[in-house]
Structure formats: structure tokens, C-alpha cells
Homo-oligomer: A and B are copies of this chain.
Amino acid sequence: MTQSKSSNIVWHEGTVGRKHRELLNQHRGFTIWFTGLSGSGKSTLSVALEERLYQMGCRTYRLDGDNVRTGLNRDLAFSPEDRIENIRRIGEVAKLFRDAGLINLTAFISPYRQDRDMARNLSQRADNDFLEVFVDAPLDVCEQRDPKGLYKKARAGSIPNFTGISAPYEAPEYPEIHIRTDETSIEQGVDQIVAYLIEHGYIEAGLADTARAT
């Protein structure tokens, strides 16, 4: 009836820690940090990946502009200092979520290498629990997609410091995963990430079979 009855929980006295939560969830807690230009497909891909992981029984949580910029970071604007603080806080919250034993997905442009490295370096685990996914599409493709009409505004000069147009995007040099969304479908991108997670022991292959069978 309840999961606790069927789970093989090894419990002794003491404070509940990350290991216990991971045991209960039957997978590790880690962060999948999506980075890429506006329109590159970060949001779409992370939503699709979360759906797949959910079907596999994984515990996930996704941080994006919708739930962060309107809440925790609503006091921040887009000045250089505020952009850094924005990513710093997201990095800290991501750390809390992986400590909570969840697979935490973040979908932010996060254009600066230094800021992403800061978020990565909050991790102190020997087994890497911070995976960077470079969601990559050429600027002209992103601009053509322009799902939020932001490139149009940026070209018209009404959005200053727009990444890719009037502000730089520093592509990851060594991302764990690199996805060209102009060459692959969302489905293929999800497959690629899931394959990486299985191959590197983040999730069990059996979970994927379950998801496909249902």
C-alpha cells in the first residue's frame, strides 16, 4: 500500500541525511544544469526530461524563471551584480535540492562560465553531482525560433544586454552533455541525457525499461 512497506529501508538512529533520502528515493540527488541561449531549447528539453524521469519513478524538481524570478529572486533586476547574485542563489538552492535527494533541473541562460563554475563548485562530493548540459543551437536558429519575441525586441534596442545580441554567451568548454537542438529532436535529446545518466550510474537502467513499458 505504501512505499515504505515495500522499500528496503535501512534505518538506524540518527539524523536523517542525504544518504537516507537517496535510499528512500532509490536514486542519487544531483543537479542537471541546462545552459544555452534564449530559444536554444533549455526549457522545452528540461520539461521533457522531467516527464521522462517522472515516468521512471524519479523524484525531480525543476527551477526556472517562473518559480525563481517571481519568488526567491524577485528583488533582483538585471544589473551585472544582480545577475551574479541570481545565479548564486539558484546554485545554492540547487545544492539544497540535491541534498534533499532530488534530481534537480535548472533552466537558465546562465551565460557566464564563472557563474556556472561557482554553482558547480558548491558541490563537495567526490562523485560528481553537478552535470552541465550545453543546449546548443546557432544564434540565427534561436533568433528564428524566438518563442518569447525577445530577439525582436533586443534587435529593436528595447532590451539592453541581451545575451547573444548585445551581451556575450560563454559556451561551456567541458559540459558533461552537449546537445545540438538544431540537429536532434527533443525526444532524441532526452534519450541522450538519459543514456548518459544510466551509463554513469546516476539512475538505474531498469527504471528506463519501466518507463517505456508503461
Q: What residues make up the interface of A, taking CB atoms closer than 8 Å to B?
A: 1-7, 9, 11, 13-16, 20-21, 24-26, 47, 50-51, 54-57, 59-63, 67, 71-72, 75, 85, 89, 92-93, 95-97, 99-102, 122, 204, 206-207, 210-211, 214
Residues of B contacting A67 with CB < 8 Å? Answer: 96, 99
**10 chain-A/chain-B pairs, Cβ below 8 angstroms:** A2-B56, A2-B57, A2-B204, A4-B210, A11-B54, A14-B51, A16-B51, A16-B60, A67-B96, A67-B99
**Chain B positions within 8 Å of A57 at CB level:** 2-5, 7, 9, 24
Chain B residues with CB under 8 Å of A25's CB are 59
- Given contacts A57-B7, A57-B9, A93-B93, whether A2 and B26 have CB atoms under 8 Å apart is yes
- A206 smallest CB distance to B (angstroms): 6
Tell me which residues across on chain B come within 8 A of A85, comparing CB atoms.
75
Copies of this chain, count: 2
**What B residues does A7 contact at CB under 8 A?**
3, 57
Give Cα distance in the complex from A92 to B67, angstroms. Answer: 10
Docked Cα-Cα span, A81 to B15, in Å, equals 33
Taking CB atoms, residues of chain B closer than 8 Å to A21 are 54, 59-61
Q: A92: which B residues are within 8 A, CB to CB?
A: 71-72
CA distance A4 to B93 in the complex (A): 27
B63 near A96 with CB under 8 A, answer yes
Residue of B whose beta carbon sits closest to that of A89: B72
